[in-house]
Amino acid sequence: MTAPVFVVETDRLAGIAPGGLVRLDGPEGRHAAAVKRLEPGEAVTLADGLGLGVEGTVAAVHGKDALDVTVLSVRQEPAPAPRIIVVQALPKGDRGELAVETMTEVGVDVVIPWAASRCITQWKGDRGAKALAKWRATAREAGKQSRRLRFPDVRELMTTRQLAPVLASAAFAAVLHEEGSAPLATAPLPETGDLILIVGPEGGVSPDELAAFAEAGAAPHRLGPSVLRTSTAGVAAGALLLGRTGRWG
């Protein structure tokens, strides 16, 4: 079984060398000591969520709030290439968090919440801030659970108009649409740059949105013979691209 991952600030890991000690405290330290009940000698991984990680073993446990980790090795995970970005329309209920969780598990790099015209859910004011915080917390926890050193970047909510320049700068962009004539499984893919997938809401992507995306360079592509829910389409498409680009190799 792989070692559990705990998050530590970058400045506490930067410059550390094998043989050094890192103190794990705060909420992560309490989780390790009181919930996981780790003991001296057990393996742990410390990560900053930005690609820097430390493999080590527990040296000492300090009550239920902290423990010391002896560093065995340090590794810096390179930036992903190509980078997989999913533009996720806001789903109903907790399906947004489910989408973020599973996309994190498969290896998606960036998630952009999208206020599509047919979204039932709306992020406004405090409600929007809380919902975005939940998405980001979900990405962090799922990143730990899936043993990632680099967690997904969950960005601010965007409108269709705001997405246009993001799509125009991508190396490849596709709208997942059941009526797309081009299959995503055979679309030509670049070796570097950003690969962007747009996932619509339960009510679908509107004709005006399809036109705006096409003008920005994102054509409709079909994923397969079945129609997936908005909370699972990004996971399936992201996994397909991760396999096709060799990132899963």
Is the CB of residue 117 less than 8 Å from the CB of residue 208? yes
Digit-coded pLDDT (tens) for 217-239? 999 999 988 888 999 999 999 99
The burial of 132, by beta-carbon neighbours within 10 Å (0-12 exposed, 13-18 middle, 19 or more buried), is given as: middle
Q: Tell me the pLDDT band of 2, cut-offs 50, 70 and 90.
A: confident
Condensed to tens digits (0 to 9), the pLDDT of residues 74-88 reads 999 999 999 999 999
**Phi, psi (deg, nearest 5) at residue 148:** -90, 145
Distance CA 38, CA 60 (A): 10
Mean pLDDT over residues 8-30, rounded? 95
Q: Is the peptide bond before 82 cis (omega within 30 degrees of 0)?
A: yes
| pTM summary value | 0.94
Could you give the residue ranges of the DSSP H alpha helices within 72-224? 95-106, 125-145, 160-168, 207-215
DSSP 177: -
| Residue in this structure with the two tokens 């190799």, named with its chain if needed | 249
Q: Where is average pLDDT lowest: 75-84, 129-138, 153-162, 175-184? A: 175-184
Confidence of residue 179 (pLDDT cuts 50, 70, 90): confident
* Sequence spans of domains, the chain: 5-76, 83-245
CA Rg value for the chain = 20
pLDDT, position 164: 94
Q: How confident is the model at residue 104 (pLDDT cuts 50, 70, 90)?
A: very high
Residue 142's pLDDT band (boundaries 50, 70, 90)?
very high
Q: By C-alpha distance, which of 131, 136, 140 is closest to 105?
A: 140
Per the CB < 8 A criterion, the answer to whether 103 and 236 are in contact is no
| Interatomic CA distance for residues 111 and 106, integer angstroms | 13
Tens of pLDDT, residues 60-75: 999 999 999 999 999 9
**Separation CA 167–CA 199 (nearest Å):** 13
Confidence of residue 180 (pLDDT cuts 50, 70, 90): confident
β-strand partners of 50? 150
Tokens of 12: 């506490």
In terms of Cβ atoms closer than 10 Å to its own Cβ (0-12, 13-18, 19+), residue 53 is buried
Instruction: List the CATH code of the domain at 83-245.
Output: 3.40.1280.10
CATH number listed for the domain at residues 5-76: 2.40.240.20
